[in-house]
Amino acid sequence: MDKRNRYQYAATFSGQRRFVGLPPDEFCIYVPLALMAIFMNLWIFGPTLLIAIVGIRHLKKGRGSQYLLNLAYWCLPTSVMRFFINALPESYKRHWVS
């Protein structure tokens, strides 16, 4: 094995991990909806998947990959965000430090 090819580096600083060609935040939404559309009911979860794809692409247009997580942190209740972020304080308790 060639030691030079042992590690992979992103081509740019914005290069990120991808699963099946999707960023992690999109993967966590699209894959469960696609599986539910395939195995449960295509007529309910198919349009839901399409709306999710169009909506997320519209929300993330021109922004970074962590934009959805930041948006959820500021807009969703603390009880929902405790599943994802437990090290940060609640969004309503944050203050600017000068």
Tens of pLDDT along 19-49?
A: 888 888 888 889 999 999 999 999 999 999 9
- Tokens standing for residue 52: 């999710």
- Cβ count within 10 A of residue 25: 16
Kindly state whether residue 41 falls inside one of the protein's structural domains.
yes
pLDDT at residue 10 tops 70: no
Is residue 73 scored above 60 in pLDDT? yes
> pLDDT tier at 82 (50, 70, 90 boundaries)?
confident
Report yes or no on 48 lying in a domain.
Answer: yes
Residue 98 lies in a domain: no
Range of the domain at 44: 23-85
Structure tokens at 44: 């309910």
Locus of tokens 């519209």 = 58
3-state secondary structure of 19: strand
Q: Span 1-29, mean pLDDT?
A: 73
Domain-embedded: residue 36: yes
Q: Quick one: which H or E segment has residue 9?
A: none
pTM score > 0.85 for this model? no
Structural domain total, the chain: 1
Whether 54 is covered by a domain: the verdict is yes
Residue 39 resides in a domain? yes
Which residues, 6+ apart, have CB-to-CB distance to 14 below 8 Å?
A: 64
